[in-house]
Amino acid sequence: MPRPECPAENAAAFEETTFFNKDGINWTPHTIGWSIAGGCAILTLLISIVTVLKHCRNYTNPPQQRQILRILYMPPIYGIVSFFSYRFFRQYTYFELVQVVYEAVTISAFVLLLIEYVASTASGHEVDKAMARKEKTALPIPLCCMRYRPTKPYFMFTIKWSVLQYVIVRPAASIAGAICQYYGVLCPTLSRSPYYAYLYLAIVDFISITVALYGLFVFYGLTKDELKDKRPLAKFLAIKLIVFLTFYQAFVFAMLEGHVIHATQYWTEYNIADGLTALATCIEMVFFAALMMWAYPWTEYVEPGREKTSIWRPLWDSINYTDFAVEIFGSLKYFLDALRGKPETRAVQGLRMQQSRTGDGMAGPGRKMDFATAFGVYTPRAETDRQLGVDSGEPYSSYDEGIRLAPYRYQEGSTSPDPDSSARA
């Protein structure tokens, strides 16, 4: 059977409409849409800038706020990209790829933020204590016939990898989609055709996001008691409502093509559906930016009497994604070592993880992997620090705070890093 011809995404004729003409503003349905989309994108950006700057000026918990800043970037990125998608509708497919890539970044930042929240609930920031009471339990539906033990190192490596794989798969699929679009083999107008790449990329994306969300649900269900004071549901909904709303409204507009939505001289049915999706997204992001301000307040990080922090280090931390790379590499290395039967991947049972430790995060004897190392948050080990003459408020010498997710050493009874160590870094 010959491959069906892909319907044109764009009309052959180009619209010559400009925003201004000799009589002033050229008000047409399209330019009105430009104004609404642009105004909403600017308003979203302004609201987000206020929230971001407030966090930057009160950057008292870098491991948590680094991830929060990444999440706060989601509404302005979606709003600005949607405006350009509406304005330059012929290149809509390329702009859409940017949105879905940042969705992967946001979801990954959220799970790493939850990890930091859980670790901060235990005394001394010791994750062994935070998770010690967790018993072997069943996985959520549809894998409820399988059970797992949360205190085993493999659990956290699996959770982190299940989410962070989306940071690899989604950009890779987006790059593949852009290449396929360039060579004319993507064909989003025939999204269910097995003769074009769009269907297969959509399947890969669906599997990847399903695995990521499942891992997130598993971790949230296990730690919801520890997270109840952090409003995790509001934080999660602030992210997922953006994803669900943009997905379903695009689906609805696509279903209206050929029925309610009809092509014009300059716009195909596909263009109009995409334009309506982009315009609606621009409007919605204003409200989501405000929701993010409420769900991720900076007020809980304000320390009275403490000097305001510079905005540049927080901004750099938030766009420095090497911590993602470190976590991905660490998880992959663990699984490869486990397959090869290396003894250090075997968990220490129960609270025996609290036995004597060496300086590299391994437990002894036998130097087996401890849960804190798998978790990605390191414990104080005050006695060892005193013996080695190391300040427990300093970052680990082998990690830089701009690289490692949770490099800060925590004082007993405190969930904030030593301000002097942040200033010295």
Average pLDDT by stretches of 10, the chain with 425 residues: 66 57 67 88 96 94 92 94 86 80 87 82 54 64 69 76 86 87 80 82 88 84 76 85 82 75 74 86 94 92 87 91 83 80 58 40 44 48 42 36 37 43 43
Question: Dihedral sign, CA of 348, 353, 358, 361?
Answer: positive
pLDDT of residue 79: 94
Strands (E), 114-270: 137-138, 147-148
Any idea where the domains of the chain sit in the sequence? Answer: 322-424
Best CA proximity match to 106, nearest among 85, 63, 77: 77
pLDDT of residue 81: 92
> What letter does residue 20 receive in the DSSP assignment?
E
Backbone angles phi, psi at 237, to 5 degrees: -65, -35
8 A C-beta contact, residue 353 and residue 97: no
